[in-house]
Amino acid sequence: MKHFITKLYVVGLLLALPLAIVAQGKVSGKLVDASSNEPLIGAAVYLKSDKGVGTVTSLDGTFELILESGKYELVFTYLGYIDQNKMITLEGDLDLEAIKLEPSTVGLTEVSVVASFATDRKTPVAISNIPASVIVEKLGNQEFPEILKSTPSVYATKGSGGFGDSRVNIRGFNTSNIGVLVNGVPVNDMENGKVYFSNWAGLSDVTSVMQVQRGLGASKLAISSVGGTMNILTKSADAEQGGSFYAGMGNDGYKKFNFNVSTGLMENGWAITLLGGTVRGDGYINGTNFQGYNYFANITKVINDDHRLSFQIFGAPQWHGQRGNKHLISTYENKNEQLPFSNNSGAKLNTEYGIRNGEIYGGSYGYNFYHKPQASINHYWDINSTTSLSTSVYASISSGGGRRIRGDKAAELDYDRNNHEFSQSFMKWRNGDGLIDWDQVTEHNNDINGKGDFVASNSINSHEWYGLLSTFNTAVDNISLTFGLDSRYYVGSHYEEIDDLLGSQFYIDDNNINRPTQQALREGDKINYHNDMQVVRNGLFGQAEISLSDFTAFISATASYQNVRRIDYFQYAADNYKSDWVDFADWSVKGGANYNINDNHNVFVNAGYFTRSPFVKFVFDGYTNDILDDAKYEKVMTFEGGYGYRSRVFNAKLGYYYTEWRDQGLSRSVGDQTYNLLGLNSRHMGLELEATYKPTKNLTIRAMASVGDWKYMDDVRFQQVDDEGNLIGEFNAYIKDVSVGNSAQTTAALGINYRFLNSFNIGFDGNYFGNNFADFDPSTRTGSNAAGINSWQVPDAYLFDLDAGYNFTIASVKSRISCKINNLLNTEYITDADDGKNHDWKTSPVYYGFGRTYSVGLKVNF
């Protein structure tokens, strides 16, 4: 009997085993964007009843979850999208197929179409996406462009170290040659193409996603995409009611507060989202204290299924101390024999400020303030299922500038930027720490009781910019056609005005021929120069795209007509102060194709050629209304090709590019002098690799490497002018085969991110920057003995960052604590350099990068 019962028990176990297997099942699916069908990587899938049971989507957006048979409510969530719940009954394996998540903002899809947002494995360009989730985890208190430092062929630094003074290069090109779009609207300065990120200091707080399109990019507009395009989409009106509050702090007195509230999309079709915040701090570099505000508002009206209207405005008024001078390495290390004071600040040294009335007061190039709001009214019209029209009317009215010190003795306050010396006259007005002695300056002006030998002025650079951007899209079978209009009117105002007499009674300036000589001038009066630049630009663009199941191809063209006029109120009489209009006609053509070999492999190619009008500073002779006869169109020819691989756990992209840029105009500022170079030719080529590996649901590994070879092709002739625009002379510069400077030509990055307990995340990022050459100084290359000599090569740098975060819920309120440590090992490294007269480290002035910095923050959603 005992053996019979044992056998019966064993038989029962064997019979129950299949039942146990059947009692479990696999639920699978794929999370995608509702409009683009792009996979959502790293989205969370979990049981509503138990958040500890769940997973995250793989690199192709798919997920798998093993559960016992039964009924469950699954939750699908991804930052920037509306959570979706789904009831399931599991009786075996269940494939939910594609689960479409809607963006958490109204109209983001329409904006992405207008902005020519590229799609992986479809748009044949090299792209890298930085979603809001990465910005939240990785940015901390870094400058906005630094979020791109782990992107191939991108080099981003804090520049001189002041708040918002960061800079970014792509494939060796600076922002003058990188198209920067915010919601499809170009924001590059219409006079010189530059983008000053201090004007956009609050942009990181309202960005939904930023896409870097290297090379020609996908934009249909005629923009400065020689090196690439930074395509930024901001928040729109939130689809759900709620809001958030953020409070953060960091090194050197850094404090930041943001508040966001939204009505959500109401039944009457209205949605309103508002955001406001403030940031302040002492600055990592001495004398670079700052304060800024940011605001954002979006008011959207969904009129009906076919029409949507929205108004949006955002801006970030700010002021900050600056550091206008690079110094020799020996000066930072306190080993310069000519240094008349002890430098206890090391790499934080700043010689452009002092203390006045108990507060930091910057000297020349030591203070900046600016406010550049952008407002737009946007109309989106779905004419039918295959045709749409999007129109945006926008405006940007800016004001602000930077401090200068003027007067007969003003030069005695300035560091000798050309010879990098500390003269006796320089130290005469300094205290024992090398800071400007403003009390002595003011006392001197009081003693002379008349015209000031020192006055503080503001160099104002304001503008009014109005534009119309309209895009018509239609589809016929597999062919999509796009046509559009891009019209802009811009007037930039440039002048200096007295801001502070520094204890003197008045100031004399006779640069204005239209006022009496020796007229006593006081605060608010204009001095030195006053001119406007008017630019009118009208452009047409068109694109045809064919899209099959595995193949896409496009060809696009632009044509634009630009009119430029200079108006000078100081150097010319009132009846002769306007120059003639100067006209330029630009055009471009580009095309590309992508072929998806199968679900894993794809290849793409693109090529283009375009002409670009010279920047306005190269149209006129120096700072006059005289038109240069040899102003040339810049010409760009480029080609690139790439290969991509994608699977559930591994993604990789490999690309090659070649760009020739001919007849370019380039401006270099060294000390208080500016060098304008015309007819410059350069060649940029390289390889780019980036990959993502996700071996488990909680672990993500990202890597990238890029190797560039960027050089100037010919010697050139250049003009030299002082900081008041006076022409000093013309010279030859021997720069053939000199490497393009101030941008690391070899970069690499490795990032490891791990999530555990569905609430914690920790990330470790390493970056390498190599083959970084100093920016050449034309004045050191006027002799034939400089031919064939490369610029000084900056030492390679290895940097490591750490970030961590914890998501938690208290009383149904979702919250997050995050922290970021930049330069974890406190590595000393050089980011920016000007090539010295001997092309070596001893004579080359530099900026060091920041040492270890940190930030922590708490965000509460309600």
pLDDT in tens, 189-216: 999 898 988 888 888 888 988 999 999 8
| Residues in CB range of 8: below 8 A, 6 or more apart | none
Residue 800 CA to residue 826 CA, distance in Å, equals 9
Q: Is the pLDDT of residue 9 over 70?
A: no
The pLDDT mean for the chain works out to 91
Residue 229 CA to residue 240 CA, distance in Å, equals 31
Residue from 223, 540, 238, 184 nearest 394 by CA: 184
Q: Is the pLDDT of residue 20 over 50?
A: no
Q: Is the pLDDT of residue 630 over 90?
A: no
Residue from 850, 855, 858 nearest 161 by CA: 850
Band of pLDDT at residue 605, cut at 50, 70 and 90: very high
Is the CB of residue 159 less than 8 Å from the CB of residue 846?
no
Residue 11, pLDDT score: 43
Residue from 837, 130, 714 nearest 420 by CA: 837
Task: Give the pairing of strands 94-101 and 24-33.
Answer: parallel
Task: Give the pairing of strands 178-182 and 228-234.
Answer: parallel
pTM: 0.91
Q: Is the pLDDT of residue 659 over 50?
A: yes
Residue 107, pLDDT score: 78
- pLDDT tens digits, one per residue of 106-143: 877 788 878 888 888 899 999 999 988 889 889 999 99
Residue 724, pLDDT score: 63
How many angstroms from the chain centroid is the CA of residue 121?
25
Concatenate the DSSP letters of all residues of 640-698 into one string.
EEEEEEE-SSEEEEEEEEEEEEEEEEEEEEETTEEEEEEEEEEEEEEEEEEEEE-SSSS
Q: Is the pLDDT of residue 21 over 70?
A: no
- pLDDT tens digits, one per residue of 427-453: 899 998 889 999 999 999 999 988 999
Residue from 146, 348, 336 nearest 826 by CA: 348
Q: What is the mean pLDDT of residues 584-607?
A: 96
Task: Give the pairing of strands 526-547 and 479-500.
Answer: antiparallel
Rg (CA), the chain: 29
Backbone φ and ψ of 629, nearest 5°: -75, -25
Residue 118 CA to residue 127 CA, distance in Å, equals 7
In the chain, where the domains are located: 22-101, 105-234, 237-263+275-436+449-522+540-851
Residue 508 CA to residue 518 CA, distance in Å, equals 6
The secondary element (H helix, E strand) that includes residue 770 is: strand 760-770
- pLDDT tens digits, one per residue of 728-781: 777 888 999 999 999 999 999 999 999 887 789 999 999 999 999 999 888 788
Band of pLDDT at residue 672, cut at 50, 70 and 90: low
Residue 519, pLDDT score: 96
Q: What is the mean pLDDT of residues 305-313?
A: 95
Residue 725, pLDDT score: 65
Residue 690, pLDDT score: 97
Band of pLDDT at residue 14, cut at 50, 70 and 90: very low
Residue 793 CA to residue 745 CA, distance in Å, equals 11
- pLDDT tens digits, one per residue of 44-94: 898 988 777 888 898 888 999 999 999 999 999 887 888 899 999 998 899
Is the CB of residue 621 less than 8 Å from the CB of residue 35?
no
Q: What is the mean pLDDT of residues 502-524?
A: 96
Q: Is the pLDDT of residue 3 over 80?
A: no
Residue 586 CA to residue 222 CA, distance in Å, equals 8
Residue from 613, 624, 635, 622 nearest 564 by CA: 613
Q: Which superfamily does CATH assign the domain made up of 105-234 to?
A: TonB-dependent receptor, plug domain (2.170.130.10)
Q: Is the pLDDT of residue 22 over 60?
A: no
321, 326, 331, 333: CA torsion to nearest 10: 80
Residue 1, pLDDT score: 46
Name the residue type at position 601: H
Is the CB of residue 114 less than 8 Å from the CB of residue 165?
no
- pLDDT tens digits, one per residue of 95-109: 999 999 988 888 777
Residue 36, pLDDT score: 75
- pLDDT tens digits, one per residue of 367-397: 999 999 999 999 999 999 999 999 999 999 9
- pLDDT tens digits, one per residue of 221-246: 878 788 999 999 888 888 889 999 99
Q: What is the mean pLDDT of residues 244-256?
A: 97
**Two tokens, residue 283:** 């600055």
Q: Is the pLDDT of residue 720 over 80?
A: no
Beta-carbon count within 10 A of 504 CB: 23
Residue 17, pLDDT score: 45
Backbone φ and ψ of 662, nearest 5°: -115, 150
CATH class of the 237-263+275-436+449-522+540-851 domain in this structure: mainly beta
How many separate helices (H) and strands (E) can be counted in the chain? 6, 48
Q: What is the mean pLDDT of residues 32-50?
A: 85
Which DSSP letter does residue 776 get?
P
Handedness of CA 300, 76, 210, 832 (dihedral sign): positive
Residue 44, pLDDT score: 87
Q: Which one of 3.40.50.300, 2.60.40.10, 3.40.47.10, 3.30.470.20 gives the CATH number of domain 22-101?
A: 2.60.40.10
Which DSSP letter does residue 161 get?
S
Residue 482 CA to residue 502 CA, distance in Å, equals 58
Residue 138, pLDDT score: 92
Name the residue type at position 166: S
